[in-house]
Copies of this chain bind each other. A is one copy, B any other.
């Protein structure tokens, strides 16, 4: 299966990073991401939604009451692009948008009952695949997986990711 030649010299574990090995990693990332999105995509299609809707639902669920601006920063899209997705979710009664209490320019976003339900179905499908992959690979592999992914993020993003990391419902 996946392997990378390494050797231990004087206690230091060195890695031979050939272009060929790196390319395998790149292709693995490409194909794995397809699998990663495949299950939620099927559910979304039944509802007439796309991946953008999934992302919005995920992060609204993640941080209840977040503002549009906040969401923009996390998702890395323009506000106009996000707005289109949000509008349909609000129209369909999956998301509620309340005028900000302290600053009335802001909108605080919440999932409705129906929104929670869809979010749960989507994330459950995605978790299921992740769970299977984790189990197949084992705990040590999982730790390595997370380490490499974190190292691959842009620096600013890693900060956002980290600050999201430990939050609870």
Which residues of A are in contact with B by a Cβ distance under 8 Å? 1-4, 6, 13-15, 17, 19-20, 22-36, 38, 55, 76, 123, 126-127, 129-154, 157-158, 160-161, 164-165, 168
Inside 8 A of A134's CB, which chain B residues have their CB? 15, 17, 22, 25, 148, 151
Contact residues in B for A31 (Cβ distance below 8 Å): 149, 153, 157-158, 160-161
Number of identical protomers: 2
Is B22 a contact of A146 with CB atoms below 8 Å?
no
- CA distance in complex: A138, B147 (Å): 9
18 contacts between A and B (CB under 8 A): A1-B147, A2-B145, A2-B146, A4-B142, A15-B134, A15-B135, A19-B127, A20-B168, A22-B130, A23-B127, A26-B130, A31-B160, A136-B147, A137-B147, A137-B151, A138-B144, A141-B145, A145-B149
**Does more than half of chain A's interface fall in helix, strand or loop, or is it mixed?**
helix
A145 to B133, CA, bound (A): 11
Select A132's contact among B143, B146, B151, beta carbons within 8 Å.
B151
Known: A28-B149, A34-B154. 15 other contacts (CB 8 A): A1-B150, A2-B143, A4-B143, A6-B140, A14-B139, A15-B134, A17-B134, A25-B130, A25-B145, A26-B123, A28-B161, A29-B36, A31-B157, A32-B148, A138-B144
Per the bound structure, the CA–CA distance linking A143 and B21 in Å amounts to 11
